[in-house]
Amino acid sequence: MPRATGFIPLCIPNIGVTERAYVQECLEAGWVSSAGPFVERFEREFAETLGVSHAVAMASGTAALHTALLLAGVQPGDEVILPSLSFIAPANAVRYVRAWPTFLDVDPHYWQLDPAELRAFLRDDCTRSGGVLRNRRTGRRVVAVLPVDILGHPCDLPAINKIVEEYGLALVEDATESLGALCGGRPLGQRSRLTCFSFNGNKLMTTGSGGMVVTDDPQLARRARYLSTQAKDDALEFVHQEIGYNYRLTSVQAALGCAQLERLEAFVAAKRRIAARYAEGLRELPGIHLMKEAPWATACYWMYTILVDPERCPTDSRSLLQELAARNIETRPLWQPLHRSPAHHQSFARACPVADRLNRLALSLPCSTGLTEEDQRRVIAAVRHESAAHDRRPLDSLHLR
């Protein structure tokens, strides 16, 4: 095993010359707040790229989710259905509107909100009376589903949409981790009435911090813009009919976003190349399970993640994390399932054995769009070494591309 050399980070931004040029242009023009042409340009180009009518830029993905839940009409005391396996932000956003997240399990193949579980919850745990759907156990009104396309892979949105329509629920999609992925050949953003994206530092493209709400409904877009700019009714006299938020993206961030957006296709291609190399380099290792792509999906592989099954492998996910860290390779487990989160202990949840298992077994590997082939070979060699004590095939025999 070669000795560890330079540090290989998990997932870092890829900032190029165009980013610097646009940010400089923005600064030289004095556009530092949300005023100026960049925010509007970023919104327009983002909407065009995704093939949707409207995009409204936000200060973060979390702000986008909060705003989208307000737009969806979620009221205090309502319940919103979420997958248990997700970063905590969408669950927190549900609490911001004083509603309650309800956690359901994910499917074992693609790790996304399981439509079968969604149907089972609505059929077995809910009751309808006087036209209102209620959770039998909590008595609360169930009003919306918030599927999260985790790790760069779309949920089974056609199946979820069908159930949502059948039960008359609202749908807010959290596609923050899956910009650039397709569902049934169509970009995410086209499948739900409201879809949210994030441009946080580790996302496929970044504005440092930032987010976007996209929709085909002009009224929703107008209201998103209104709520995110302090609900200003009269800009001159400062008249406000409602409580709004300071959620707008700044011009400097939007300038960065315009440049990153030009490279979106190249970023997705890079992530898919990285995924293909991992799939090739780690295939057939006992106890190592690779990410799969569903028949409806073209994943963007935002965060390449493997499962390490300690019953079939000489290591486990947390030991492997330590072993790779000792070799200067950064990795990360998945989030604590939300039905176990102390922050959300008052929320209703069905049993989530798949989310629990994935949490124990999953480990995300380095996958920056700028990851070199040489560094990826080092990661693959290290994983093979630690996880397959008896697999000593030389790397060259694996025909890594």
Ligand X SMILES: Cc1ncc(COP(=O)(O)O)c(C=O)c1O
Per CB under 6 A, residues contacting ligand X are 60-62, 86-87, 89-90, 148, 174, 176-177, 198, 200, 209, 211
Cα gap 370→60, rounded to integer Å: 24
Nearest to 280 by CA among 209, 157, 377: 377
Which residue number, 106 or 380, has a Cβ lying nearer to ligand X?
Answer: 106
Instruction: Find the residue with minimal CB distance to ligand X.
Output: 61
Which residue number, 87 or 100, has a Cβ lying nearer to ligand X?
Answer: 87
Closest separation in Å from C-beta 210 to ligand X: 7
Closest separation in Å from C-beta 9 to ligand X: 17
Which residue number, 2 or 201, has a Cβ lying nearer to ligand X?
Answer: 201
Closest separation in Å from C-beta 188 to ligand X: 12
Closest separation in Å from C-beta 282 to ligand X: 24
C-alpha distances (whole Å) from 3 to each of 278, 323, 361, 395 are: 21, 13, 26, 16
In the sheet that holds 288-289, the strands lie side by side as 288-289, 305-308, 362-364
Which residue number, 267 or 386, has a Cβ lying nearer to ligand X?
Answer: 267
Which residue number, 90 or 101, has a Cβ lying nearer to ligand X?
Answer: 90
In the sheet that holds 182-183, the strands lie side by side as 186-187, 182-183, 297-298
Closest separation in Å from C-beta 90 to ligand X: 5
Any residues with CB less than 8 A from the CB of 38 and at least 6 apart, and which? 22, 26, 31, 251, 252, 254, 255, 258
Closest separation in Å from C-beta 5 to ligand X: 30
Cα gap 311→37, rounded to integer Å: 57
Cα gap 27→255, rounded to integer Å: 9
Q: Which H/E stretch holds residue 306?
A: strand 305-308
**Contact call for residues 60 and 68 (beta carbons, < 8 A):** no
Which residue number, 112 or 387, has a Cβ lying nearer to ligand X?
Answer: 112
